[in-house]
Amino acid sequence: MKLYFSRGSCALAVHIALAEAGLKYETEEVDLRVTPHKTASGRLYTEINPKGYVPTLVLDNSELLTEGQVVLQYVADQAPQKALIPKAGEFARYRLQEWLAFISTEVHKGFAPLWNPATPQEQKDAAWERLTTRIAHANEALNGKEYLMENFSVADAYLFTCLRWTGFFKKPLTAYPHLLAWMERVAARPAVKQAMQEEGLR
Ligand SMILES: N[C@@H](CCC(=O)N[C@@H](CS)C(=O)NCC(=O)O)C(=O)O
């Protein structure tokens, strides 16, 4: 499998999932700072994924899989023994999907106005205010729990990836102690360290 990623982007969640799953994978970086986006080997990224954004996972049969929350489920399902996701058909699977949808639409996309240099400061402040209600929800959910689900799951990989961005925007998470402890717990996992190292992140 091959993952197209951009350093520290939402694709890090898939990178973590691949490492946690112990699957064989290769990666290629996409430069999102240039328009149109180019891969490290110089290809026009839309030639690989016409949607033009990361993550893209190219499967061994050359099939392309996109949309982070779906790619995460696919990767987790490839290594059932690692229990990165509840089995399909179990109610817990829907809980996991509930988290993935929340993280994707409320947290991941909640950051979009902050990333956009054209967003007026007032709208950035409003977006952050809105995001803090989602962050507070995750903090509460982690009260007395090690991970979002019973054990570490791809939802943790995804939320961790998005909340790392608070560092970039200099928004400390000090008001969210359960979340902070969980961030440290996730960051300490060997597979998370491996994926971050492979992206040149600290
Ligand atoms: N709907 C997509 C969105 C992915 C996304 O937002 N990717 C960002 C990086 S975190 C990206 O590649 N942005 C560059 C662009 O849109 O041109 C998903 O959930 O996978």
Alpha-carbon distance of 65 to 117, in angstroms, equals: 29
Q: Are 71 and 112 within one domain?
A: no
Q: Are 44 and 18 within one domain?
A: yes
| Contact (CB, 8 A) for 3 and 56 | yes
pTM of the model: 0.98
Tokens (6 digits) for 120: 């007026």
| Contact (CB, 8 A) for 100 and 73 | yes
Give the 3-state secondary structure percentages of the chain, helix then strand then coil, rounded to 5: 55, 10, 35
CA of 144 to the centre of ligand 1 (A): 32
- Mean pLDDT score of the chain: 98
Q: Are 57 and 110 within one domain?
A: no
pLDDT digits (tens, 9 = 90+) for 11-38: 999 999 999 999 999 999 999 999 999 9
Q: Are 102 and 47 within one domain?
A: no
Q: Are 120 and 172 within one domain?
A: yes
Q: Are 112 and 75 within one domain?
A: no
Alpha-carbon distance of 142 to 63, in angstroms, equals: 36
CA of 87 to the centre of ligand 1 (A): 27
Whole-number pLDDT of residue 123: 98
Whole-number pLDDT of residue 202: 87
Mean pLDDT of 150-158: 98
Alpha-carbon distance of 103 to 98, in angstroms, equals: 9
CA of 97 to the centre of ligand 1 (A): 19
Domain count of the chain?
Answer: 2
pLDDT digits (tens, 9 = 90+) for 115-144: 999 999 999 999 999 999 999 999 999 999
Q: Is the pLDDT of residue 191 over 90?
A: yes
Whole-number pLDDT of residue 144: 98
Whether ligand 1 lies within 6 angstroms of the CB of 49 is answered as no
Q: Where are the alpha helices (DSSP H) in the chain?
A: 11-21, 45-48, 68-77, 91-102, 112-115, 121-141, 154-163, 165-168, 177-187, 190-198
Q: Are 119 and 77 within one domain?
A: no
Q: Are 72 and 100 within one domain?
A: no
Q: Are 40 and 68 within one domain?
A: yes
Which atom belonging to ligand 1 lies closest to the Cα atom of 11? Answer: 10
Whole-number pLDDT of residue 145: 98
**How far from chain centre, in Å, is Cα 139?**
17
CATH of the domain at 69: 3.40.30.10
Whether ligand 1 lies within 6 angstroms of the CB of 73 is answered as no
CATH of the domain at 124: 1.20.1050.10
Q: Are 101 and 164 within one domain?
A: yes
Mean pLDDT of 52-74: 98
Whole-number pLDDT of residue 165: 98
Q: Are 179 and 120 within one domain?
A: yes
Q: Which residue segment(s) compose the domain that 109 sits in?
A: 91-189
Q: Are 122 and 179 within one domain?
A: yes
